[in-house]
A = this chain, B = another copy of it.
Amino acid sequence: MSDPIIHMENIKKHFGNVIALNGVTFDVRAGECHCLLGDNGAGKSTFIKTMSGVHKPTEGTISFEGRELSFDSPRDAMEAGIATVFQDLAMIPLMSVTRNFFMGREPTKGWGPFKRFDTEKANATTMEEMRKMGINLRAPDQAVGTLSGGERQTVAIARAVHFGAKVLILDEPTSALGVRQTSNVLATIDRVRNQGIGVVFISHNVRHALAVGDRFTVLNRGQTLGTAKKGEIDASELQDMMAGGQEMAQLEGSLGGTV
């Protein structure tokens, strides 16, 4: 298999006296979907934030395409070709959908001092990309703050997919999505993976993970619990690992495997 695009070695991250990550090693290769799984508070979001330049790791090294480097800002990571859907979506509620979509990477027309934001093109692109994900926006200039939870999440995903160059990181992208939108997102992951992009996919839904994942890494309380390839592990094993090895609630029996 190809060399990893990103390789994160023994990453530790402390917030004041809180140890969020305590030595996590992880990599993602071109054309694969690597699922990052784990209990709530395991450190998944913190980990992908160090990967996309939001946090600086307290310890540990990041190599991108073989070279060791450190991202100073999310913009650096983005320019290197990493697109991320954050769990909190990183959207500005007061701004329109289009402006959020292109935030930081606006298309322009004209030249020199007359270079300006190409609103028509941006609007058209936004509507189109959203439609692909199964959402029909009323108007591209609607404020993001007035969108429903799922609509908002779809904007963030469509944006990341649109700009994803080498690595696409998705932190629980389907949590607020309806069934149709979810299946669109999973199909999209499949599509971009086939285009040779590396995907990091975080989810609490075992089925979603198994449907698109090539490898599965489970985090627990800030540490790696292990990595498995597709086919090496089945749903219930994975589910047990994700629960941190602890018992499910009593309802378990009656809900059998429904979670």
- Spell out A's residues near B (CB within 8 Å): 15, 18, 38-42, 44-46, 87-88, 134-135, 138, 146-151, 154, 172, 175-184, 186-187, 190, 204-208, 210-211, 239, 242-244, 246, 248-252, 254-255, 258-259
Contacts of A206 in B (CB 8 A): 179
Contact across chains for B87 and A180 when beta carbons are under 8 A apart: no
Contacts of A175 in B (CB 8 A): 172, 175-176
Contact partner of A249 (CB less than 8 A), chosen from B149, B172, B187, is B187
A149 to chain B, nearest CB (A): 5
Give complex CA distance A255, B15 in Å: 39
Give complex CA distance A177, B249 in Å: 14
Copies of this subunit: 2
A193 to chain B, nearest CB (A): 12
Contacts of A40 in B (CB 8 A): 134-135, 148-151, 154, 176-178, 181
Contacts of A182 in B (CB 8 A): 204, 259
Contact partner of A148 (CB less than 8 A), chosen from B45, B179, B239, is B45
Contacts of A178 in B (CB 8 A): 38-40, 42, 204, 242-243
Contact across chains for A180 and B251 when beta carbons are under 8 A apart: no
Give complex CA distance A184, B204 in Å: 14
Beyond A183-B251, A187-B250, A190-B254, 16 extra complex contacts between A and B, CB < 8 Å: A18-B146, A38-B178, A39-B150, A40-B178, A40-B181, A42-B178, A172-B176, A180-B243, A180-B248, A180-B249, A182-B204, A183-B259, A186-B251, A187-B249, A207-B258, A211-B254
